[in-house]
Structure 1
Amino acid sequence: MANVLIHATVTLDGYMADPDDGVDWMFDVDAGDEDTALVNRVVGEIGAVVGGANRARTVEDGEEPYGGLPGVPVYLMTHEAQEPVVKDGVKYTFVVDDIAGAVDMAMADAGDKTVSLLGGKISRQCLQRGLVDEIQLHVVPILLGAGISLFEGLNQRINLELVENASFGNGGVHLRYRVLR
């Protein structure tokens, strides 16, 4: 059965994007070989993705989760029905207002691999519904001071157990937690 994972790169002050939803700051961090290997391992575990459709509505223009690297089915949450999009062999299915249904479909596609959740709103909704098994954060040594928080608005306590951590030469930290139920 698939494991449901929140997977995100965040700044030390907890932001996953700047106030304009930009993530260019991620490219200012030098990733060493060990960092890249760890991230590639996590991405290699992915069997399906659930994310928000706000940025991915432009899939055909190149805004694909993980740059399209995993080559796995993607379920995008939306408020309006839209036909699926197939690009480079990857099917992007738009799911209207049913996050639990999207996760169920992604789990079926993922098999024994991981369902990766992308985006703060998606992650918070899944945490609130008890759908998340693990959280993998790549914390980079940057303070944005303002932006879009991964967990702001969660409004409930979630207990976690640290299952993996690593730090390498760039000053960043990789943290993986199991969600305790």
Structure 2
Amino acid sequence: MSESQQSLRAFVFLGLSVDGRIARPDGDLEWLTSRGAAAGDAGFTPFVESIDAVVMGRRTYEAIASYDDWPYLDRPIHVISTTLAADADSRITVHRSAEAAIDALQRDGRWRVYVDGGETVRWFLAAKLIDELTLSQVPVLIGDGPSLFGSLGGDVDLEHVRTTVLDGGMVQTTYRVLDGPTPRSSQ
């Protein structure tokens, strides 16, 4: 397939609490890293090896920026932010909009993209760019914090691909996205 015939394919691989939270209100992820450790890699490394680049929002970047072990191997990292300085971190490229990030990814021939972070995932779903969601539920209720899903502008139909119970009680489910949001009929 030639470059002009390819289109961006976006994938989600996220951990979340059973109540659908992706972080504590202050951005803390200790609940995920400590409990998720029992599950080991959970397939994350093979997943990252299968993608060409990563795109995330500023809050997700700030939550992981200080990690000693950068989890994205050598993949280019694109961060969407209107406030982060362009030279904030030599490991990332900052874009002022999701559209600008997509343009850069396509221009660079990055067709398989890992989308990370709640707002970014919702934007890509609304734009009908997500192909697959792999969600790993950590056996904890944290009660408050950002949710992975909020308003999507309608229903997003999914097809179940597989569910695996990992060590530590983490349940990982993969869904194929059949289409983007379908507006609900008003009755």
TM-score (norm 1): 0.80
- Map of 1:156-171 to 2, 5 A cutoff? 156-171=154-169
Distance 1:29 1:80 in 2: 32
Q: Which residue of 2 aligns with 1:152?
A: 150
1:42 to 1:154, Cα distance in 2 relative to 1, 3 A: same
**Equivalent of 1:49 in 38, 48, 54:** 54
1:69 to 1:81, Cα distance in 2 relative to 1, 3 A: closer
- Map of 1:1-181 to 2, 5 A cutoff? 1=6, 2-29=8-35, 31-32=37-38, 35-36=40-41, 38-54=43-59, 56=61, 62=66, 67-80=70-83, 82-84=85-87, 87=90, 90=91, 92-96=92-96, 98-109=97-108, 111=110, 114-181=112-179
The structure number with the bigger radius of gyration is 2
Question: CA contact under 8 A between 1:48 and 1:110: conserved in structure 2?
Answer: no
1:138 to 1:104, Cα distance in 2 relative to 1, 3 A: farther
Question: CA contact under 8 A between 2:58 and 2:84: conserved in structure 1?
Answer: no
Q: Show CA shifts across 1:40-78 (max 9, x none).
A: 22122221011112353698x6359x7254211111111
Q: Aligned Cα RMSD in Å?
A: 2.7
Distance 1:124 1:37 in 2: 23
Aligned-partner SS, 1:144: coil
Aligned-partner SS, 2:169: coil
Identity score, percent: 27
**Structure 1: stretches of 5+ with no match in the other structure:** none
Question: CA contact under 8 A between 1:48 and 1:107: conserved in structure 2?
Answer: no
Of 24-33 and 142-151, more deviation after overlay is shown by 24-33
1:82 to 1:13, Cα distance in 2 relative to 1, 3 A: same
**Structure 2: stretches of 5+ with no match in the other structure:** 1-5, 180-187
Question: CA contact under 8 A between 2:122 and 2:152: conserved in structure 1?
Answer: yes
1:81 to 1:174, Cα distance in 2 relative to 1, 3 A: closer
Question: CA contact under 8 A between 1:46 and 1:70: conserved in structure 2?
Answer: no
One-letter amino acid of the counterpart of residue 62, structure 1: S
Hey, which of these two has a bigger chunk of strand by percent? 1
1:140 to 1:68, Cα distance in 2 relative to 1, 3 A: closer
1:111 to 1:164, Cα distance in 2 relative to 1, 3 A: farther
Distance 2:52 2:113 in 1: 6
Question: CA contact under 8 A between 1:50 and 1:116: conserved in structure 2?
Answer: yes
Shift of 1:38: 1.6
1:4 to 1:46, Cα distance in 2 relative to 1, 3 A: same
How many residues get paired? Answer: 173
